[in-house]
Every structure is written in structure tokens, then in C-alpha cells.
Amino acid sequence: MVQRIVWIFSLAGALIFAGLTIVLLSDHSHLRIPAIAGLVTFGVVVLSYLGGIEGGLALHDQVGTEKTRAVSLCLSTLPALAAWGVLWLGSPQQQIGASIALFIAVWCADLWLARHGLIPSWFVDMRTAVTALVCVILGIAYWLL
């Protein structure tokens, strides 16, 4: 049941990115500007959430080793800090480009955590699929700006 819920929530998040990107096709600036802000803000929130997952893994002492849990805890702070930095970038294109890079970086961190026994393989499969989808959607948004 948990796997199904994770997939549903993850795909729902991708749909939010897709919906906001579709709005960018509009010629109405009164819609485009909030859509751009929504893409950037939602990306920051999701990246922070993904970091929180990594932090939660560190607290579960039945998995991994003390060292891998310590690495997980350290890794968990980086997505939120980096995502906060995205908000300070000078243009929406820079913000969306940096968000794409961060989604890929957090996915790489999840791969490392999976190799060290902290994340189950089904979660990595989901993250791989949804990260690819989100990066394609954000890439389209980047191109539309």
C-alpha cells in the first residue's frame, strides 16, 4: 500500500509541474508570471521534501550502518539549502535550470543511499522514473521561457 501511495503522490507532483508548464504556452502574461513563480516555488518545496526523506532515513537505526546514516543525515540538509539558493538566482531560467540540476543531484544521492541499504529498490525505481519525467517537464518550461 505504501508503494502505491508514494507513486500516486509522486505522479501528482509531476502533474503539477506539467500543468504549470502548459500554462507557459499561454500568451497571457497575467497567467505566465504566476505559473513561472509556481514552477520555481513548487520545485523548491519538493526538493526540500526529498531532503527530508533522506533525513528520516538517517533516524531509522535498523538500516544501513552508523556511517551511512550519518552521511544520509548530512546529505539531507543539502537539498533544502540548495533549493533556498535557487530562489536567489537572477532569472526564472536560471532558477529552473538549477532546479533540474538539483533534482538530478538528489536522485544521485538516493542511488548512493540505496547502494548502502538505506532506500529500498522500489523507491529508487519510482525516483528514477519521476525524476526523469520532472526534468523533462522542467526542461520544456526552461525552453518556453
pLDDT for res 134: 98
Say yes or no to pLDDT of 60 above 80.
no
Tally the residues of the chain.
145
Q: What is the pLDDT of residues 115-125, one digit of tens each?
A: 988 888 999 99
117: left (phi over 0), alpha (psi -120 to 50) or beta: left
Distance CA 127, CA 47 (A): 12
pLDDT for res 96: 98
Say yes or no to pLDDT of 82 above 90.
yes
CB of 103 closer than 8 Å to CB of 138: yes
Q: Using alpha carbons, select from 73, 64, 38 the residue that is nearest to residue 116.
A: 64
Q: pTM above the 0.85 mark? A: yes
pLDDT for res 46: 97
Report domain extents, the chain: 2-144
Place of cell 538516493: 110
Distance CA 44, CA 79 (A): 9
